[in-house]
Amino acid sequence: MSTSIGVSFSDLAVGDSSAPLVIEGIGRTHFVRYAGASGDFNPMHHDDAMAQQYGNPSVFGHGMLTAGIAARSVKDWFGPTALRQLDVRFAKQVWPGETLTSTATVSSLSTDEVSGEGRVDLTLSVVNADGEEKLSGTATVAVDK
């Protein structure tokens, strides 16, 4: 079964990066759509009064929305069936109006001993326009050899 879309294991090298995925002006509509898709209706993500009651300047994005943006970078580069592992660390909240940029960078290449698939380990990053890290992580994808 093909695991990647037009990506050749032999053409990849440590340090190669995905095209940046830029989400301009992420906002409340993104947060509400994510809440509907995930079932996570925590009012901190859609109710300013509630968010401010707990010391936040406004509502903020779901952490897993940011993780989804990072995962989309991987999917856009390697296809929808290539992902084998995803680990993320949430660094900062995402505020309405921020522009987010997600990238994935090859950190190592190997062959899975059981399946024989090429494995590509990636370092993930989502930052805002000021370079403030919102999420970091790693992913492993399978690529046809």
Q: pLDDT > 90: what percent of the chain? A: 89
Q: Can you give the CATH number for the domain in which 82 is found?
A: 3.10.129.10
pLDDT of residue 128: 98
| Residue 100 confidence (pLDDT) above 70 | yes
d(CA 89, CA 99): 19
Degrees, nearest 5: CA angle 134-41-104: 25
Q: Look at residue 41 and tell me if it is in a domain.
A: no
The answer to whether residue 101 is domain-embedded is: yes
Average pLDDT of every residue of the chain: 94
Classify residue 37: in a domain, yes or no.
Answer: no
Q: Domain containing 79: what range?
A: 9-26+61-143
Q: Is residue 108 part of a domain?
A: yes
Is 17 a member of any domain?
yes
Q: Note whether residue 36 is domain-resident.
A: no
pLDDT, tens only, 24-70: 999 999 999 999 999 999 999 999 999 999 999 999 999 999 999 99
Query: Which token pair is 133?
Result: 């890290």
CA distance 110 to 25: 38
pLDDT at position 4 is 66
The Cα–Cα gap between 80 and 10 comes to 20
Structural domain tally of the chain? Answer: 1
Within-domain flag for 50: no
Contact 19, 77 (CB under 8 A): yes
**In this predicted model, what pLDDT tens digit does every residue of 65-76 receive, in sequence order?**
999 999 999 999
Work out the pLDDT band at 3, boundaries 50, 70, 90. low
Record the pTM. Answer: 0.92
105: in domain: yes
* Torsion of Cα atoms, 1 then 141 then 143 then 115, to 10°: -60
Residue 84: name the closest of 8, 141, 145 by CA.
Answer: 141
Of 70, 82, 87, 86, the C-alpha closest to 141 is 82
